[in-house]
Structures are given as structure tokens and as C-alpha cells.
Amino acid sequence: MILESLRLSPDRDLPGPLLTGITALYASNREFHALSGDFPDPDHIRPEQVADELAHELATPHAEVLLGRSEGRPVGIAVTLARHPDPADPDPWIGLLMVDARLHGRGYGRRLAGLVEDRLRAAGHSAVSLAVLDGNPKALAFWTALGYTAVDHRADHRHGRPCTVLRKRLTDDGTS
């Protein structure tokens, strides 16, 4: 799997075939979108909705959208924040990590998470945090299996949804 930073064109667009592939990735995760409420109809996620969501993410200060590809096609997407909106929070955050649901259970999520952690480690970060929506036990099990530990329970910043906050140390030097 390769990981690349997603960039919009000067017109704030993505090439049609790329947007089609990313839309298919989002649409394959119906169960998550039904829980999150990020799209009005999780059974009919449209390219323009995905384009708007990606443009919103890319307009967020300190955010990066990373696209995981395998054999040339999108297999996963991650959104990271170099800084959390709360100035008291020192960690970068993984705001989203999603793998094409047709590929679940094949190690793509673990590889994508590892590549994201490697990028953050290379940027000098000693830990990373994320939030899992309440009611998403599969995601909670995934992240805890990767070594993340629950550290808080609070509402997310964007929609006020209840979440479990998890954190993982990225270094073994005793920093946290």
C-alpha cells in the first residue's frame, strides 16, 4: 500500500475517476455512516457529497487527508490533524481512518494506521489520539488491538456526538 497526501485542484476539485473511487470507498461503509450521520442518506452517498466533505477536511487548519492505494485504486483514507482544536491537547489526532468495507479483515486498516503513525512519528510526535463514536464496538476493538488506550469520554468537536477518546504513545522513550 502506498500513502499519498490528497490535494484538490485550484478549482477545489478532484479528478473524476479518483472521486468515483473515493465515493465507492465511503459508500461501502454504510454501517459507519448510518451511525455517524455524516451523510443524509447512508444508502446513497453521492460524489458531490464526498467532494464537499473532503473540501471541508482540507480547509481545516492543520489537517491532512491521506489516501491509501493498492494496485492503483483507493483502498483507504485517513484524515489527520497536526493539532487538535483544544490548545491544551498536545497530540496530533486521527480524525478518520476508513478502509473500503469490501476489504475489511485483510489487514488494510492495520497497514493504513501503521503508515499514518509512521508519518506522525517521523514528524517528531510522541503520541497520537483519536475518538471512536459510542455505538461503534468494531472500531473500538480495532484501535485497542493496535495498542490504543481509552483516556477520556467526551463529545466530538464537530457534531457533539459522544465518543471514547483513545491515545497511543508512538515512542518508547518514556514520553507521553
pLDDT tens, position by position, 88-102: 888 999 999 999 999
pLDDT confidence band for 83 (50 / 70 / 90) = confident
pLDDT confidence band for 31 (50 / 70 / 90) = very high
CATH of domain 2-169: 3.40.630.30
Q: What is the residue-wise DSSP string for 90-147?
A: -S-EEEEEEE-GGGTTSSHHHHHHHHHHHHHHHTT-SEEEEEEETT-HHHHHHHHHTT
52: pLDDT strictly greater than 80? yes
Selected residue with higher pLDDT from 85 and 46: 46
The share of the chain scoring above pLDDT 70, in percent, equals: 97
Give residue limits of the domains in the chain. 2-169
158: pLDDT strictly greater than 80? no
pLDDT digit string (tens) for 115-135?
Answer: 999 999 999 999 999 999 999
pLDDT at 93: 95
